[in-house]
A and B are shown apart, each in its own frame.
Chain A
Amino acid sequence: MSSDKLYGIIVAGVGGQGAITLAQLFLGAAWRSRLHTMQSEVHGMSQRGGSVNAQISISKAEVTAPLLLSGAVDLLISMEPLEALRYVPFLSKNATIITSTEPTINMDNYPDINLILGALREIPGTILVDTAEHAKKLANKNAGNMVLLGVASNYTPIDKTIWHTIIEERFASKGEKVVVKNIEAFDIGKKIIAPSS
């Protein structure tokens, strides 16, 4: 995000996975960085285990539109690989995709996961994150989202200390331990960089 151009992010997932929480962290971090920002989310029926997305706009100039221009979105963060594929048509040619490889199978016709991951690998600018593996290593079953956020933070003009503050504020009510664990997961994500393409 170099020019004055609006930077658009979509956070995708399945209802209940925490896509909106993650989007709110982006919003908070952008605001703290004195950037203009806005974020739209879905509530209601669609949260009940369906496909959900939240959109975030970040800009050096004022932002007024809640929705992003389809085909011009710069960054996709998906908590679920099938959902990642669903939002590819919203992305710009050079967009980055950061997605978990862990499927949420709450439907009868879920395609073969290898087909999904194969399709994702073929799309340039895709970073597959084995969130299940990270969660296991960190002994923190909720680590996945924070790892994804850490990876994504490399594509935003937001300082690491601001990210840490935002995570701290968000999870403070859940106790010191949760905060530390989340920051740990975030930092691991931050070290993951795109495979050279």
Chain B
Amino acid sequence: MSKNAKNESLLLGDEAVGFAAIDAGLTGIFGYPGTPSTEVFEAVEAEFKKNGVANRVARWAANEKVGYEFALGCSYIGKRSMVTMKHVGLNVAMDPFVNSAITGVNGGLVVVVADDPGMHSSQNEQDSRYLADFANLPCLEPSTPQEAYDFTTYAFELSEKLRLPVLLRLVTRLAHTRGVVARQEMKEPTDLGIPNSESRFNWVLIPSNARLQYQRLRDNFGQLLEAADDFNKFKKGDRRGVVVSGMGKANFDQLCKEEATISKFSKLEVMAYPLNDSLIDKMLESCDEIYIFEENYPYIEDKFIAKTRQTKIRGRRDGTLNIAGELDPGVLRQALKLSMPEKKKGPTIDLPARPPRMCDGCGHIDAYNAMKEAFNIIGVSDPRVFGDIGCYTLGAQPPFEGIDTCVEMGASLGMALGAAMSGQVPSVGVIGDSTFFHSGLPTLISLVESKVNANFVIMDNRITAMTGQQEVVATDIIPQLAQAAGLLPEQVHILTPLPKKHEENVKKLVEIFKNNRPDLIIFKRDCIQAMRKGLYAKINEEKKAGGHGHE
């Protein structure tokens, strides 16, 4: 995208975060792909590729926990690092997240977590602000692409000042919104050196150290409040008031341009956490009625409700806004009882939905077709198959109805094995290769020992397809892994999901399903989209050079 004299360009919220990290002297960015966070990493990776990466690194990890640990290691040696993930990824990275608050950091560490209010591409809409709170860490919440840039820049400084990781919270609508962003001059990677003799033992969380460090974390809470106070703005106005954060702020500010009355409200803008009680008190003193627009759990709202009986708190708890779902201009107008526009009259015919679907010719389709027929042949008329997260999740829909669950990364295998051990025959779990490396590997180890009729199906296309075809940490090693873990060669089956192989695959599956033992089935075929983009050339080249995965 072209730039102008003010060093402005049009960037996605995600890209603004990535560029800010580079400009702030970032050394390492790590993470695991997940909508809507993926483009933060990709923006940095693309820049590194374009401009050379001397002393800098962008690397996808097997999962968010590993990504977080990469970033923490980078910080340990004094460099600025960033780790990116979607909201549910933070659940996976909880262990290092919470404990890095106890150890503290060295080089600035910014944890970018993109929440998904409205669940556009997620299994829940959990609110990461609670997790920052839980870990006693500061959290910044931008509301525009420019703020995404500015807050990221500041987050690195804050992280080094407080010696703590800083959580940067994004939501889908900011992550995937393009706007004008002015960039600052790019800094060379910074380096604070390794922890000195004084701070060296902070990192060793044996109880005697951990107690001291935890006490210090709690004692420093005042510093966190001070840092947040610099961001949060209170403005006294009418006895009606509003508290806004993130997309609540973005939407309310827009609305103020159209509605003079609401721009006179008393107003508290929350852009950083922890939120100081004194700001809540100021709002409560100034208002008889307060609207709270935040994305998306009633996090700030509950703090207000806890402090008042007199002031009416209008938000998600009293039904002014729905408890679930994302904010938009219409939701705010309705809450504030403002006029709604006169709409165009719509069509009178029923419009069928057009849900996303697997690409024509995708190997997943052939795999599901073969499984369906195999179940039929062995006489299971209503099979229940455990599924996972990836393009193949779309196989839950008709006409395939090939999986019956999608819970969290790796759940397919754990649930299939749990069901098998509890009496399900045959039990089948379907998972993609990237999801397998993310969270399925430990379950494979348990499979070997189980001796039950559990069948793990890996849809192996050697790419993280759904999020836009990112590289997987490793390719073509699953059969060796399985055998190293103790499966016999005859328990590992590599099938090619192609229409012309249908009969052969069905026959094989029937045998496997009937066999009363654990089996691993690898449906192996490259993703058509990744093939079209020419993404396998690099992977194949690396293979020839004798390595797998990155380097």
Contacts and interface: CB of A to CB of B under 8 A. Distances in A.
Interface string A80-93: 00110110110111
Contact of B340 (A38, A48, A49, A71): A71
A115 B350 CA distance: 11
B235 interface: no
Interface in A94-148: 94-95, 106-107, 109-111, 115-116, 119-120, 123, 125
Interface in B207-241: none
Interface string A47-59: 1111100000000
A175 interface: no
B389 to A, nearest CB: 10
Contacts of A169: 2
B180 A31 contact: yes
A116 B120 CA distance: 27
Interface string A177-196: 00000000000000000000
Contact of A46 (B1, B344, B356): B356
A27 B178 contact: yes
A39 B354 CA distance: 23
A65 B176 contact: no
Interface residues of A, number: 58
Interface string B105-124: 00000000000000011000
Interface stretch (B301-309, B327-335, B369-377, B452-460): B327-335
B347 A44 contact: no
B466 A45 contact: yes
A120 B253 CA distance: 35
A39 B177 contact: yes
Nearest to A59: B257
A38 B346 contact: no
A48 B329 CA distance: 27
Given A44-B121, A51-B353, A123-B347, A71 B341 contact: yes
A50 B356 contact: yes
A94 to B, nearest CB: 8
B498 interface: no
Given A64-B254, A70-B330, A28 B10 contact: yes
B351 A82 contact: yes
A63 interface: yes
Contacts of A31: 10, 180
A68 interface: yes
A83 B2 CA distance: 31
A43 interface: yes
Interface in B30-51: 35-36, 38-39
- Residue of A28, A46, A65, A115 with highest tally of chain B CB at under 10 A: A65
A89 B219 CA distance: 54
Nearest to B38: A43
B174 A66 contact: yes
B500 interface: no
Contacts of A106: 354, 357
Given A40-B177, A69-B333, A111 B356 contact: no
A45 to B, nearest CB: 5
B266 interface: no
Nearest to B146: A64
Contacts of B174: 66
Contacts of A70: 328-330, 343
Contact of A68 (B121, B178, B249, B329): B329
A64 B143 contact: yes
A110 B354 CA distance: 9
Q: Which 6 A-B pairs have the closest CB atoms?
A: A44-B35, A50-B356, A65-B254, A44-B121, A66-B177, A48-B356
Given A65-B255, A111-B349, 7 more contacts: A45-B394, A49-B357, A61-B257, A72-B341, A83-B354, A86-B351, A88-B347
13 contacts: A31-B10, A47-B356, A49-B357, A50-B354, A64-B144, A64-B253, A65-B254, A65-B328, A66-B250, A86-B351, A93-B343, A116-B349, A169-B2
Interface of B: 1-2, 10, 35-36, 38-39, 120-121, 143-145, 173-174, 176-180, 247, 249-251, 253-255, 257-258, 328-330, 333, 340-359, 391, 394, 466-468
